Amino acid sequence: SLISAASERERTRFQTLFETNTDGIVILDRQGFVQCNTATLRMFRIAGQDDFLRLRPEDLTAPGMVGASSAKASLKRHIGDAFEKGHSAFEWSCRRSDASEFPAHIDLHAMRLDGRPHLQCIIRDVTLQKEAEQALKAAHAEAIAATEIKSQFFANVSHEILTPMNGIMGMTHLLLGS
């Protein structure tokens, strides 16, 4: 009884961690999805776990990925690597149920459940990070352009001042000589 109470507390603790995580967590075996947390359902805008479990990993791939067959092959390779090597991490373009897309970082970790190989898939929506990277790149490009404009301005101003100054200096030299 004491062991079953401790076991139940452990199960409750892990279930709470699984359900309260803000990243999508999906458990899959070699046949497909087995379980997902509520963050996954929110992330992909899917009403219930049963609807999600009917999907295949490639159903969650954005159509804009390289090509349907090569994206499917790439996904299969990542999953195979995780089963064989224990881990695989990659960037992916995901598709929600409403056809909207979002960039994600995906970590696959191999584990054994009920004596069979499974993968824990952690999906992190990196939309905000990608937007920040784009903003940083744009700001960097603007700074380089502003520096170039400033350099051109000073070169032009320098030329516009030096040319008349050289004329004035030359005329002054001639006047001093006479």
Residue 133 CA to residue 127 CA, distance in Å, equals 10
Identity of residue 8: E
- Reported for 65-72, long-range contacts at CB under 8 A and 24+ positions apart, including other chains, are 65/92, 65/93
Beta strands 101-113 and 87-95 are: antiparallel
Residues 37-69 pLDDT 10s: 999 999 999 999 999 999 999 899 888 765 556
Taking a C-beta distance cutoff of 8 angstroms, is the pair 97, 45 a contact? yes
Please say if the pLDDT value at position 12 is more than 60.
yes
Within 8 A by CB and 6+ apart from 45, the residues are 96, 97, 98, 100
Residues 101-130 pLDDT 10s: 999 999 999 999 989 999 999 999 998 887
Which pTM value belongs to this model? 0.67
Stretch 3-7: mean pLDDT, rounded?
74
- Strand, helix or coil at 46? coil
Which ranges of the chain would DSSP assign to H, the alpha helix? 2-20, 38-44, 49-53, 68-85, 127-177
Within 8 A by CB and 6+ apart from 82, the residues are 88, 108, 109, 110, 119
User: Residue 176: its pLDDT value, please?
Assistant: 83
